[in-house]
């Protein structure tokens, strides 16, 4: 049988109609992994790993349209994944699709399982305009704007991390409640599994025993720590004595992908020569969070995961960032002391070094997931139920995070991970 395709870069195997003739292994189910952004792709790897060893399942990846799509082709290339162009993916039937974003999912011919790409659902999405009227902003990932298309719920299943998110989903989009499932949070489980290895992570970041590691975390956008001004990072490096402190910067992947890795390295090269540790976007971030003695952060997800470690925190970025008032992030921002840019850095860091809010941080951390340590088991059960396959007998365990990679600035123009 001949098959005519309209694009030269379309894949023939293993999706063409006469696949049995060409494929070495005949699989029973085809799963499409829909990667909108690099950070979404990383979250989806936590799911695809749960299918490892199952020769009945073929994984196929595609890049979905997204404003933050920079870096996705390179991410998929590093994986060595079989990638279909989006134009072909939307014309091909799959047994299941996995996504950690919402754009264009209604175009797929497959039941879709949607996961959050961060710590639950905290940020408010911009209001949608309909002619002269504008809908009120909704919670990203829970709003009707994201979940409903032509009067129908798009996802086959909506993965939630905590039971309280069911209440918030019920307020935002009650039609979606029947397909919502509380599964847990893979990053929460990985941070917990990594806590016993704290000394190894500190060693990998070249932090000496007598030094305190200050981890500066910035999400993306104008309301973020860096979006409000790079001087916070600059002054921390300049004002904290190097014998007593190490400063590390952990930047959201959207910063790297939106501006380009070369540009970010260029912006931070001077600070790196003054002692700044820059965490590479190509490694895992959880180890850096576990290693930190104090955290300076904003309304990004890393702040919530940082609350798990017991490290004292200071909040930066825009104080009225657009977050859901009923979210764990809003609670964290309500009591965490703010770093005042008009004041000297060192006294503020010293004053916050004693965690006076330990119990409140524990309460916030408990709101990240109501299924601690159980994401892998519950997510795997969901996958096989949707695939209509019996799951192989296999114990699922969350491994500690790999050692963080840092960007090296040994030579002019360099900036490779190490």
pLDDT by residue for the chain (418 residues), tens digit each?
Answer: 333 444 556 666 577 665 666 666 677 899 999 999 999 999 999 999 999 989 999 999 999 999 988 999 999 999 999 999 999 999 999 999 999 999 999 999 999 999 998 887 887 876 554 455 455 668 888 888 889 999 999 999 999 999 999 999 999 999 999 999 999 999 999 999 999 999 999 999 999 999 999 999 999 999 999 999 889 999 999 999 999 999 999 999 999 999 999 999 999 999 999 999 999 999 999 999 999 999 999 999 999 999 999 899 999 998 888 888 999 999 999 999 999 988 999 999 999 887 678 899 999 999 999 999 999 999 999 999 999 999 998 777 889 999 999 998 865 545 555 5
C-beta separation of 294 from 214 below 8 A: yes
For each of the domains in the chain, give its residue range(s) and CATH number, in order of start. 26-187+371-387 (3.40.50.2000), 195-367 (3.40.50.2000)
Helix axis angle for 261-273 and 231-239, nearest 10°, is 30
pLDDT at 22 (0 to 100): 64
- Residue 149 bridge partners (DSSP): 152
How far is the CA of 30 from the CAs of 9, 24, 47, 57, 191, in angstroms?
Answer: 20, 15, 15, 6, 31
User: Dihedral angle at the C-alpha atoms of 386, 390, 395, 399, nearest 10 degrees?
Assistant: -30
CB 294 within 8 A of CB 195: no
Q: What pLDDT, on a 0 to 100 scale, did the predictor assign at position 394?
A: 78
Burial class (CB in 10 A: 0-12, 13-18, 19+), 162: buried
Residue with tokens 């990846």: 61
Q: Nearest Cα to 383, choosing from 156, 146, 107, 165?
A: 156
pTM across the whole model:
0.90
Nearest to residue 92, comparing CAs of 25, 2, 5? 5
Which one-letter DSSP state was computed for residue 62? E
> At residue 216, what are phi and psi to the nearest 5 degrees?
-100, 115
């Amino acid at each position: 049988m001949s098959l005519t395709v309209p694009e030269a870069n379309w894949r023939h195997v293993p999706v063409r109609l006469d696949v049995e003739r060409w494929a070495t292994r005949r699989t029973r189910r085809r799963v499409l992994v829909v990667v909108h952004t690099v950070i979404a792709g990383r979250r989806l790897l936590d799911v695809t790993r749960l299918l490892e060893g199952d020769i009945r399942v073929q994984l196929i990846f595609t890049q979905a349209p997204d404003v933050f799509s920079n870096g996705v082709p390179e991410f998929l290339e590093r994986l060595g994944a079989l990638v279909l162009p989006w134009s072909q993916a939307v014309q091909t039937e799959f047994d299941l699709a996995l996504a950690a974003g919402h754009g264009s999912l209604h175009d797929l011919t497959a039941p879709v399982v949607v996961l959050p790409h961060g710590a639950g659902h905290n940020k408010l999405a911009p209001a949608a305009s309909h002619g002269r009227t504008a809908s009120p902003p909704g919670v990203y990932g829970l709003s009707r704007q994201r979940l409903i298309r032509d009067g129908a719920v798009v996802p086959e299943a909506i993965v939630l991390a905590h039971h309280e998110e069911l209440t918030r989903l019920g307020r935002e989009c009650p039609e979606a409640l029947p397909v919502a499932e509380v599964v847990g949070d893979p990053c929460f489980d990985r941070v917990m599994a990594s806590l016993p290895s704290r000394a190894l992570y500190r060693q990998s970041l070249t932090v000496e025993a007598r030094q305190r590691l200050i981890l500066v975390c910035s999400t993306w956008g104008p309301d973020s720590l860096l979006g409000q001004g790079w001087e916070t990072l600059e002054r921390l490096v300049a004002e904290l004595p190097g014998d007593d402190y190490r400063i590390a910067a952990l930047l959201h992947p959207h910063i790297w992908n939106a501006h380009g890795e070369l540009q970010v390295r260029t912006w931070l090269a001077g600070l790196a020569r003054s002692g700044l540790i820059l965490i590479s976007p190509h490694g895992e971030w959880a180890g850096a969070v576990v290693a930190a003695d104090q955290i300076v952060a904003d309304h990004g997800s890393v702040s919530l995961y940082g609350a798990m470690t017991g490290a004292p925190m200071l909040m930066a970025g825009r104080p009225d960032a657009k977050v859901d008032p009923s979210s764990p992030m809003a609670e964290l921002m309500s009591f965490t002391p703010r770093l005042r840019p008009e004041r000297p850095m060192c006294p503020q860091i010293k004053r916050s070094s004693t965690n006076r809010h330990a119990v409140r941080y524990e309460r916030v951390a408990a709101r990240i997931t109501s299924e601690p340590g159980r994401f892998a088991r519950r997510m795997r059960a969901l996958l096989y139920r949707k695939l209509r396959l019996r799951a192989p007998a296999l114990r699922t365990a969350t491994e500690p995070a790999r050692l963080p990679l840092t960007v090296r600035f040994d030579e002019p123009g360099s900036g490779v991970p190490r």
